[in-house]
């Protein structure tokens, strides 16, 4: 078990990649705080984990709200006494072309996908520094590396996540805390299941492996970066995209 005796927070853990990550981490020995704005889905993930005899707790959190994040961290520390791993996975989409993108939808995506990562990371960083160790893994996207039609807000946030990660890797690395990024490509999740068939096929055609990825394949990258196997990896951007960015 690669995460034995570790405590991990997984934001957006109620569904998709976050759920797959929380389940995998628990199987690898971690006590997992499944954090999600939807407490019902978080509890569903916890039920799946506990049925396998593993430890997990559900925490309702709005990552864009500083007080909500601080309460999440407080609850996890009260329950488990430590935080070793933070997976900043929570995110939303509000796609629109530039000429049609509303200010509200721009702000909403920046608040969750960028500020939310800042809020959660800052909230756990001091605890990790005090303990002399920790793993922060942030979710970006391959589109942050090359752009994508109709995603001004999403790409601005995900590119910002990469930039923040590079800074934090320098600042926190000397204190025993690594900070890295996973940049998923076209992944089969609830966000993509309702896309028209022709759009899905267009996405698949861009992938050298000629298929979409799974949530579990992204979770495996999170696991590696969170484990001791990646102890000398810091400030890296790991693309899990089937070769789209090659």
Say how many C-beta atoms besides its own lie within 10 A of residue 4's C-beta: 8
Say how many C-beta atoms besides its own lie within 10 A of residue 53's C-beta: 8
Separation CA 85–CA 172 (nearest Å):
14
Separation CA 15–CA 40 (nearest Å):
11
Catalytic residue at 146?
A: no
Give the burial class of 107: count Cβ atoms within 10 A of its Cβ; 0-12 exposed, 13-18 middle, 19 or more buried.
Answer: middle
Give the burial class of 65: count Cβ atoms within 10 A of its Cβ; 0-12 exposed, 13-18 middle, 19 or more buried.
Answer: middle
Catalytic residue, chosen from 80, 146, 154, 232, is 154
Contacts (Cβ under 8 Å, ≥6 apart) of 209: 242, 243
- Residues noted as catalytic: 154
């Amino acid at each position: 078990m690669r995460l034995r005796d570790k405590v991990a927070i997984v934001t957006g853990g109620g569904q998709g990649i976050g759920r797959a990550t929380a389940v995998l981490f628990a199987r690898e020995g971690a006590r997992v705080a499944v954090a999600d704005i939807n407490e019902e889905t978080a509890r569903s993930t916890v039920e799946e984990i506990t049925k396998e005899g593993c430890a997990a707790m559900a925490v309702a959190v709005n990552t864009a709200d500083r007080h909500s994040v601080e309460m999440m961290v407080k609850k996890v520390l009260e329950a488990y006494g430590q935080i070793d791993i933070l997976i900043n996975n929570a995110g939303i989409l509000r796609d629109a072309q530039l000429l049609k993108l509303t200010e509200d939808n721009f702000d909403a995506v920046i608040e969750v996908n960028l500020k939310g990562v800042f809020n959660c990371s800052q909230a756990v960083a001091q605890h990790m520094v005090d303990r002399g160790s920790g793993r922060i893994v942030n979710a970006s996207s391959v589109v942050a590396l090359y752009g994508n039609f109709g995603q001004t807000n999403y790409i601005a946030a995900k590119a910002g996540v990469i930039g923040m990660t590079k800074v934090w890797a320098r600042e926190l690395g000397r204190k025993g805390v690594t900070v890295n990024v996973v940049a998923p490509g076209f992944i089969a999740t609830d966000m993509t299941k309702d896309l028209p068939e022709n759009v899905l096929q267009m996405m698949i055609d861009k992938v050298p492996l000629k298929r979409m990825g799974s949530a579990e394949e992204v979770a495996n990258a999170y696991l590696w970066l969170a484990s001791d196997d990646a102890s000398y990896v810091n400030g890296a951007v790991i693309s899990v995209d089937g070769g789209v960015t090659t």
